[in-house]
Amino acid sequence: VTTELIGYKLLPAAAKKLMRRKRDKIEDSFIVVTKDGKIIRIKPLVITRGSTTGSVMATMRRLERAYVAKVISTSDFDAIVTDIVTKKFQHGLGMLLRHLYPIGACEIRQFELIAPEKVKELGLKITLPPEKLPEFKTSKKEEPKQEQKTEQPATA
């Protein structure tokens, strides 16, 4: 007898505990396909450290969706499960989103395995991964350029 994981859920009380005053919650739900062909519904949850404008939240949601689709489409189901349970996946997503706005928490609220028949029956839309993700500078300080000093001959 083998045991296979079909889903993962964050308790609602744990999600509520992350929320505080003057913070915004970015939630999303979409369907992606893994490298080994399994279909997953994933629901990320991001909590900002302060009040955010709608345009910043929309940009963060688009970037979050692109990152999740890209990572999941290049990994098999078992690797994704391991990364989510060990919080490696959430850390990578949080580090990417921190370039846009300070993040308080980044969690995967839920993910579940979906049968291909259910996707066809309900006509669910599958999110495709982007060709490339935007790149951000990792260091805040740029290295100062060294000026080349030329020695001038002394004239007397």
pLDDT tens-digit series, residues 79-94? 999 999 999 999 999 9
Q: How far apart are CA 56 and CA 147, in angstroms?
A: 39
Q: Which of 72, 71, 78, 85 is nearest to 4 (CA)?
A: 78
Assess if CATH 1.20.120.450 describes domain 7-122: no
Q: How far apart are CA 52 and CA 29, in angstroms?
A: 20
> Which pTM value belongs to this model?
0.80
Least confident of 21-30, 129-138, 140-149: 140-149
